[in-house]
Chains A and B, each alone.
Chain A
Amino acid sequence: MAILEVKNISKSFDSLKVLKDISFNVDVGEVVAIIGPSGSGKSTLLRCINQLEKADGGEINVDGANMFRTENGKAVYAPSKTLRDIRLKIGLVFQNFNLFPHFSVTQNIIEAPVHVLKQSKAEAKSACNELLKKMGLETKGAAYPCELSGGQQQRVSIARALALKPKILFFDEPTSALDPELTGEILKVIKDLAKEKMTMVIVTHEMAFARDVANHVIFMDDGYIVEEGSPEEVFGNTRNERTKQFLQRFNDR
């Protein structure tokens, strides 16, 4: 069953067309990796799905609710109440973590459960402790983000997103701001989540990881999806010339 339906999305910044005609579905429990060269529109696509940018046209449905559709050539968004409900069903992990620096790790994680979902502090804290344990950060609850390594900060930001129990979790290049040494710990967390059948959409430059963890790989170039399929199809039996070139560069490294 598709929990996310993206149909014919287009998006321009002034005269620059960033997304031209993007359609794909994500099923419950699926892990989708979006790969492609810089400037191909991957991050913009993620930001449109997460309501951080407004799409110009197309349609997006999340968990059966319509986020926006196109009427008379214009994107018409759902009422703000619906948009908010949709937003709470999806989580986003940023490239630069975007933790709240003035909050401790625990405060970062319980902020939304307490102030948005109106959970009791005790309830939110016990859920927070569970998440910290899962992330291997059980001793770091009282620490401030600036006292943590990049890998630890990113794990906190994953925990913060998970605290709202999202139905889909999006990752925008989650390891790009990290040392190569630290990327492994993030990739392991994502793999563990995949084992628990968490639905995830991951924009990444880690090809080996995409092949390893994804059920479905989307290759984007110049605002289009040029190739998609199982990792075996996209990586093992590449049909598209542009994809071949791109993957060749990675294999050469």
Chain B
Amino acid sequence: MTFEEIKKVTQILIEFLPNTLKLFAWTLVLSIPVGVLVTMLKKCRFKPISWLTNLYILIMRGTPLMLQIIAIYYAVPLIIASAAKSGKTGGIYDLLTNLKNNENYMFIALVTAFVLNYAAYFAEIFRGGIEAIPKGQYEAASMLGMTKMQTFFRIILPQVTKRVIPATANEVIVLVKDTSLANVIAYAEITMKAKQQMNLYSSIAPLFIAGAFYFVLNAVVTVAFAVIEKKFDYYK
């Protein structure tokens, strides 16, 4: 490829970079709170809820994210089609039809799949962090008359946050690269565009350029987490 062509491909990838970033940001912002919720459900004393949560984590971590994306993306139209065939109508089907006709349906399906998947991983990271806090911290707080809420939010959570930063950084770095899986349903992110350019120029170079994009994004993520980790360095 000529230098001009490389420049052109790079420009196209830059143009579609926001789609990659949008998927990354929505997944990150939603999957962390959902992950906290899943941790709480898993630790729920009412056993059936804890078991169902375990099953959910098992499936999400046990099957490929790519399959989950495909399944969720096609599930809605397939459900609607089979409902139409058997003549079923009503609230839930109308809701699904509205969803399918939404102009952002593909993005909504993608974020749903990514969030469900990443929340399962985050939940296990957070559970590990919570269980690593010594029992003495709870006992000290209770001797001081602190309520359960105060104990969790003022004593436990800040310490858990510090402990889960390295493992969370790992997940976030993987997430940057996993956004490329969205190309499986033809979401216009940079890997899909790079593949198109590869075919256009009969050259593998566009893939290397896409690789460089991910590399730079992850350099930023790595530095950001190093800064966060340093912020929590004031205690052991």
A interface list, Cβ under 8 A from B = 50-52, 84, 87-88, 91-92, 94, 96, 98-102, 111-112, 115-117, 144-146, 160-161, 164
| A101 and B145 contacting across the interface, CB-CB below 8 Å | no
List 8 A-B residue pairs with CB atoms under 8 Å apart, sorted by A's residue number: A94-B136, A94-B139, A98-B136, A101-B236, A111-B146, A116-B144, A116-B150, A117-B145
When distances are taken between beta carbons in the complex, the residues of chain B under 8 Å from A102 are 158-159, 162, 235
B174-208: contact bitstring with A at CB < 8 Å (1 yes, 0 no)? 00000000000000000000000000000000000
Residues in A with CB closer than 8 Å to B143 are 50, 52, 87, 91-92, 161
Tell me, yes or no, whether B167 is within 8 Å of chain A by CB. no
Given A94-B139, A101-B235, 8 more A-B residue pairs with CB atoms under 8 Å apart are A52-B143, A84-B145, A87-B142, A87-B145, A94-B136, A102-B159, A111-B144, A164-B144
Instruction: Report the nearest B residue to A93, measured CB to CB.
Output: B143
Contact B162 A112 (CB under 8 A): no
Name A94's closest neighbour in chain B (CB-CB): B136
A116 B145 Cβ-Cβ under 8 A: yes
User: Which residues in B have some Cβ–Cβ distance to A below 8 Å?
Assistant: 134, 136-137, 139-140, 142-146, 150, 154-155, 158-159, 162, 234-236
A-B contact count (CB 8 A): 55
On whether A112 and B235 interact (CB within 8 A), knowing A94-B139, A98-B137, A100-B137, the answer reads: no
> Which residues of B are found within 8 Å of A92, using beta-carbon distances?
143
From the candidates B134, B162, B236, name the one contacting A146 in the complex (CB within 8 A).
B236
Task: Give A65 to B162 CA distance when docked, in angstroms.
Answer: 41
Contact, CB under 8 Å: B145 / A164? yes
For B235, list chain A residues within 8 Å (CB): 101-102, 144-146
Q: Which of B139, B150, B154, B159 contacts A101 (CB 8 A)?
A: B159
Interface pair A52/B139, CB less than 8 Å apart: yes
Q: How far is the CB of A144 from chain B (nearest CB, A)?
A: 5
CB-defined contacts of A117 to chain B, threshold 8 Å: 145
Whether the pair B139, A112 counts as a contact (CB closer than 8 A) is: no
- The answer on a CB contact under 8 Å between B145 and A112 is yes
A50 cross-chain contacts in B, Cβ below 8 A? 143
- In the complex, what residue of chain B is closest to A91 when comparing beta carbons? B143
The answer on a CB contact under 8 Å between B144 and A112 is yes
Query: By the criterion CB–CB under 8 Å, are A100 and B155 in contact?
Result: yes
In the complex, the answer to whether B146 meets A98 with C-beta atoms within 8 Å is no
Q: Is the CB of B145 within 8 A of A94?
A: no
How far, in Å, is B228 (CB) from chain A's closest CB?
Answer: 15
Option from B136, B137, B140, B145 in Cβ contact (under 8 Å) with A88: B145
- Shortest beta-carbon distance from B13 to chain A in Å: 43
| B145 contacts across to A, CB distance below 8 A | 84, 87-88, 112, 116-117, 164
The residue in chain A whose Cβ has the minimal distance to the Cβ of B159 is A102
- For residue B160, give the distance in angstroms from its CB to the closest CB of chain A: 10
Residue in A51, A100, A115, A164 whose beta carbon sits within 8 Å of that of B140 in the complex: A100
